[in-house]
């Protein structure tokens, strides 16, 4: 895949999803960090149902440490994996308080160094809350769509991120994840991709229509 071809694909996908943006509700870096941790294996819609009460109860990082874990677990239970997520939120909060004076650090390296914060979460917070372009958030949709379009030949998120960072200029990194996530949710679904409605179907090696056409030609 050339950089020019990759740029053209992203342009066309962005035209199909001009409203692509992060769908988690947040107003502060801490809220975005917590919402992103909660979004693992959970829909943004479900996270957005849980977070208003959570953010009202815990406006500062220190507040997550002031209650028993069970209280937090109960509040985030609907997002699934609530024990692990409670642990991640409290570990990150403790380090934010101890090492960063209670403020979420505005550097990718400091974010990814927090316990319970992986590269994807760090990239989401760094790019959306601080305008940094230090990485590309690779979630399940980005993995799937970039694989189907052959933007990468890898399946491992770190390698996929590296391939996407090589293909696209830094200023497009947030756009890459926003657009591929929207495309994965709306069109290029995991089980039944809607190739007939896809803006880049004519360039996609994985198009279902391609195999139908091939069968018809024989
Ligand atoms: S053509 Fe089909 S498989 Fe390819 S990106 Fe579009 S929806 Fe996904």
- Of 148, 183, 199, 210, best ligand 1 pocket probe by most atoms within 8 Å of the beta carbon: 148
Ligand 1 contact, 201 CB (< 6 A):
yes
Taking only the tens place, the pLDDT of each residue in 140-194 is 999 999 999 999 999 999 999 999 999 999 999 999 999 999 999 999 999 999 9
Query: Is there an atom of ligand 1 within 6 Å of 16 CB?
Result: no
Q: Is 203 in the pocket of ligand 1 (CB under 6 A)?
A: no
SS3 readout for the chain = CCHHHHHHHHHHHHHHCCCCCCCCCCCCHHHHHHHHHHCCCCCHHHHHHHHHHHHHHCCCHHHHHCCCHHHHHHHHHHHCCHHHHHHHHHHHHHHHHHHHCCCCCCCHHHHHHCCCCCHHHHHHHHHHHHCCCCCCCCCHHHHHHHHHCCCCCCCCHHHHHHHHHHHCCHHHHHHHHHHHHHHHHHCCCCCCCCHHHCCCHHHCCCCHHHHHHHHHHC
Q: How far is the CA of 138 from the centre of ligand 1 (A)?
A: 18
85 tagged catalytic: no
Residue tagged active-site, from 85, 120, 163, 178: 120
25 is catalytic: no
Global confidence as pTM: 0.90
Per-residue pLDDT of the chain (218 residues; tens, 9 = 90+): 899 999 999 999 999 999 999 999 999 999 999 999 999 999 999 999 999 999 999 999 999 999 999 999 999 999 999 999 999 999 999 999 999 999 999 999 999 999 989 999 999 999 999 999 999 999 999 999 999 999 999 999 999 999 999 999 999 999 999 999 999 999 999 999 999 999 999 999 999 887 777 777 76
The number of the ligand 1 atom at minimal distance from the alpha carbon of 200 is 6
């Amino acid at each position: 895949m050339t950089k020019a071809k990759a740029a053209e694909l992203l342009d066309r996908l962005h035209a199909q999803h001009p409203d692509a943006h992060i769908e988690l509700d947040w107003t502060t870096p801490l809220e975005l960090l917590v919402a992103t941790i909660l979004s693992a294996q959970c829909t943004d819609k479900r996270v957005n149902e849980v977070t208003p009460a959570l953010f009202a109860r815990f406006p500062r990082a220190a507040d997550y440490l002031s209650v028993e874990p069970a209280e937090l677990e109960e509040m985030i239970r609907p997002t699934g994996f609530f024990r692990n997520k409670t642990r991640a939120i409290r570990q990150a909060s403790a380090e934010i308080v101890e090492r960063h004076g209670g403020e979420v650090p505005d550097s990718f390296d400091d974010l990814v160094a927090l316990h319970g914060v992986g590269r994807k979460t760090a990239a989401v917070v760094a790019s959306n809350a601080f305008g940094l372009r230090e990485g590309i958030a690779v979630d399940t949709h980005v993995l799937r769509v970039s694989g189907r379009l052959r933007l990468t030949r890898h399946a491992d998120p770190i390698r996929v991120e590296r391939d996407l960072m090589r293909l696209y200029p830094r200023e497009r990194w947030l756009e890459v994840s926003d657009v591929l996530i929207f495309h994965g949710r709306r069109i290029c679904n995991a089980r039944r991709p809607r190739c007939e409605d896809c803006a880049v179907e004519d360039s996609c090696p994985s198009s279902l229509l391609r195999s139908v056409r091939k069968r018809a030609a024989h």
